[in-house]
């Protein structure tokens, strides 16, 4: 990669046809056949080979060092990547603490596709060997695991996978290529929810898979057969969003650091999960592996679930909504959003406290955010005392 990220996001994959500085959106579902007429000459949106999607894929390919496929959602990306890499009867290692939607996909693979899954503690590499089986085929992980914001020993995962001939897959949604480029560190397959930071404006649902050309080709064939394809409009918005990815993520990381420090020092905050804090269990690893500490944090106010609800209700700037990575700060309680689909017992065993508040830090001025959290912490304390 000769050009730097901030240059690549602006210029990679841009054809500038007809002198257009910003690429037009090609909505055409089908394209005139040229000579010679073979199946591969057919251009059709469902075959994942039309110009606006290709523009988004070329930009992603430059950022994540591999060939790219844009998918209609991050969920579709996780599903396709796993489904293309693992056959019925094969076995997958996956984190016990994993994105709730991915957990549901893994459950589906177990129940319906005859795939075996063992959930491992990514922070204890000494336990992985005993979880491995003769039919183990893949090791799935996430760069930053939400809502704990933990960073696993990524190089040990790559080394373990290589040693045992496993496909290594990583969900890089929270880190983005700004903080970590998994393929440069030896991961085979990268997946993204492009609905989050890559687009960054909370107005697109899309996903992406990046892999070596041959593997990506196989995944693309799989997508074409199943009719899994993004809409050109989503691809065009994704292209536009990606141009400011490093600027947004840089500002969001700085603001998250500022807010995390402030919350950590607050007397009525019991715990803060953010790898940028020196006391965080992932601090050393994040410092070593990532080019930043991320845009997300979680914290637990004292006073339990009721206080957490009152606090969220008192916030004026952050919007209570699921999802993350947009320019506006969002808050949610993982117990009722990302992990709501799981049985309460499983959720608690995964360390998701009912009072935990997750913050996806936007690009607002961090001083305004702090003032708002300060007022909300005070108001929610008063509300609690009044009852
Ligand atoms: C949101 C998310 C997904 C799913 O993406 P969608 O675009 O909502 O389908 C997958 N992994 C992670 C880490 C996510 O945050």
For residue 72, how far is its CA from the centre of ligand 1 (angstroms)? 11
CA of 160 from ligand 1 middle (Å) equals: 26
Q: Whose CA is nearest to atom 14 of ligand 1?
A: 193
* pLDDT tens per residue, range 182-206: 999 999 999 999 999 999 999 999 9
Q: 67, 171, 188, 264: which is the annotated catalytic residue?
A: 171
Q: Rounded CA gap, 105 and 260, in Å?
A: 32
- The answer on pLDDT for 251 being more than 70 is yes
Mean pLDDT of 215-222: 96
Whether 261 and 133 share a structural domain: no
Shortest-distance atom of ligand 1 to CA 174: 13
Last residue of a domain, one of 242, 258, 284: 242
Question: Hey, whose CA ends up nearest to atom 13 of ligand 1?
Answer: 173
Average pLDDT, the chain: 95
Question: Closest Cα to atom 8, ligand 1: which residue?
Answer: 74
**pLDDT higher than threshold 70 for residue 386:** no
Reply yes or no on whether the pLDDT at 1 is more than 70.
no
- Domain shared by 36 and 121, yes or no: yes
Residue 297 sits in the same domain as residue 167: no
CATH number of the domain that residue 45 is part of: 3.40.640.10
Q: Which whole number is the average pLDDT over 119-134?
A: 97
74 CA from centroid of ligand 1 (Å) = 5
Domain boundary among 202, 218, 242: 242
Question: Is 44 among the catalytic positions?
Answer: no
Tens-digit pLDDT profile for residues 47-62: 999 999 999 999 999 9
pLDDT value for 360: 98
* In a shared domain, residues 198 and 314: no
Please report the atom of ligand 1 found closest to the CA of residue 194.
7
178 and 193 together in one domain? yes
Question: What is the domain extent for residue 310?
Answer: 245-386
Same domain, 168 and 30: yes
Tell whether the model's pLDDT for residue 100 goes beyond 90. Answer: no
- Cα distance between residue 243 and residue 238, in whole Å: 9
Average pLDDT over residues 43-49: 96
How far is the centre of ligand 1, averaged over its atoms, from the C-alpha of 172 (Å)? 10
Cβ-contact 362, 328 below 8 angstroms: yes
* Ligand 1 pocket test, candidate residues 180, 195, 198, 238, most atoms within 8 A of CB: 195
Catalytic site residue 104?
A: no
Domain count, the chain: 2
DSSP 359: E
Cα(261) to ligand 1 centroid in Å equals 27
Residues 353-368 have a mean pLDDT of 96
Distance between alpha carbon 40 and the CA centroid of its chain, in Å? 32
**Ligand 1: centre distance to CA 193 (Å):** 4
Q: Quick one: pLDDT at residue 2?
A: 65
Task: Measure CA of the first residue to CA of the last residue in the chain; give whole Å.
Answer: 60
Neighbours of 58 (CB within 10 A): 16
Left, alpha or beta for 150 (phi > 0: left; psi -120 to 50: alpha)?
Answer: beta
Q: What is the CATH number of the domain that holds 312?
A: 3.90.1150.10
Q: Is 250 in the same domain as 187?
A: no
Pocket of ligand 1 (CB under 6 A): 73-75, 78, 99, 101-102, 142, 146, 171, 173-174, 193, 195-196, 205, 207
User: Which of 196, 243, 307, 309 is flagged as catalytic?
Assistant: 196
The CA distances from residue 108 to 83, 310, 332, 339, in Å, are 11, 36, 26, 16
Do 356 and 268 sit in the same domain of this protein? yes
Q: Are residues 81 and 227 in the same domain?
A: yes
pLDDT exceeds 80 at position 228: yes
In a shared domain, residues 28 and 167: yes
The domain boundary, picked from 189, 212, 242, lies at 242
The DSSP code for 145 is B
The per-residue pLDDT for 369 is 98
Walk across the sheet containing 269-273 and list its strands. 269-273, 296-301, 357-360, 330-332, 319-320
Q: Check pLDDT > 80 for residue 271.
A: yes
For 289-316, letters b (16+ CB in 10 Å) and e give bbbbbbbbbbbbbbbeeebbbbbbebbe
Pick the range with the lowest mean pLDDT from 9-18, 121-130, 260-269, 312-321. 9-18
Name the residue at shortest CA distance from atom 6 of ligand 1: 74
Atom of ligand 1 nearest to the CA of 75: 9
Answer whether 142's CB lies under 8 Å from 117's CB. no
pLDDT, position 209: 98
Q: How remote is the CA of residue 75 from the centroid of ligand 1, in Å?
A: 6
Looking at the structure, tell me whether residues 156 and 250 fall in a common domain.
Answer: no
Tell me: pLDDT of 213 over 50: yes
Same domain, yes or no: 293 and 144? no
Residue 370 has pLDDT above 90, yes or no: yes
To the query of whether residue 180 is one of the catalytic residues in this protein, the response is no
Work out the average pLDDT over 294-319: 96
171 is catalytic: yes
pLDDT value at 347 more than 90 = no
pTM, two decimal places: 0.96
């Amino acid at each position: 990669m000769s050009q730097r990220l901030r240059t690549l996001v602006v210029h990679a994959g841009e054809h500038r046809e007809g002198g257009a500085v910003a690429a037009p959106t090609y909505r055409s579902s089908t394209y005139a056949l040229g000579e010679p007429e073979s199946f591969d000459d057919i251009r059709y949106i469902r075959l994942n080979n039309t110009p606006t999607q290709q523009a988004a894929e070329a930009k992603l390919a430059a950022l994540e060092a591999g060939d790219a496929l844009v998918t209609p959602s991050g969920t579709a990306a996780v599903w396709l990547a796993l489904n293309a890499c693992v056959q019925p009867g094969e076995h997958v290692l996956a984190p016990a603490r994993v994105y709730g939607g991915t957990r549901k996909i893994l459950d589906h693979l177990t129940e319906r596709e005859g795939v075996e899954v063992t959930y491992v503690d990514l922070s204890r590499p000494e336990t992985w060997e005993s979880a491995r089986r003769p039919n183990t085929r893949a090791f799935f992980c996430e760069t930053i695991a939400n809502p704990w914001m933990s960073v696993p020993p990524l190089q040990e995962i790559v080394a373990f996978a290589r040693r045992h001939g496993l496909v290594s897959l990583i969900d890089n949604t929270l880190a983005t290529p700004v903080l970590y480029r998994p393929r440069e560190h030896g991961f085979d397959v990268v997946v993204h929810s492009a609905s989050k930071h890559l687009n960054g404006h909370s107005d697109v649902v899309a996903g992406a898979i990046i892999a070596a050309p041959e593997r990506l080709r196989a995944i693309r064939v799989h997508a074409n057969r199943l009719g899994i394809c993004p809409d050109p409009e989503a691809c065009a918005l994704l292209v536009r969003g990606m141009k400011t990815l490093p600027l947004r993520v840089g500002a969001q990381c700085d603001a998250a650091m500022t807010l995390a420090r402030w919350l950590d020092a607050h007397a009525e905050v019991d715990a803060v999960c953010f790898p940028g804090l020196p006391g965080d269990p992932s601090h050393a690893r994040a410092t070593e592996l990532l080019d930043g500490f991320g845009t997300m944090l979680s914290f637990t106010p004292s006073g339990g679930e009721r206080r957490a609800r009152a606090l969220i209700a008192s916030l004026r700037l952050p919007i209570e909504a699921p999802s993350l990575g947009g320019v506006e700060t969002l808050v949610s309680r993982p117990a009722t959003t990302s992990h709501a689909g799981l049985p309460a017992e499983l959720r608690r065993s995964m360390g998701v406290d009912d009072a935990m508040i997750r913050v996806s830090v936007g690009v607002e001025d961090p001083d305004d955010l702090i003032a708002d959290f300060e007022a909300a912490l005070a108001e929610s304390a008063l509300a609690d005392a009044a009852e």
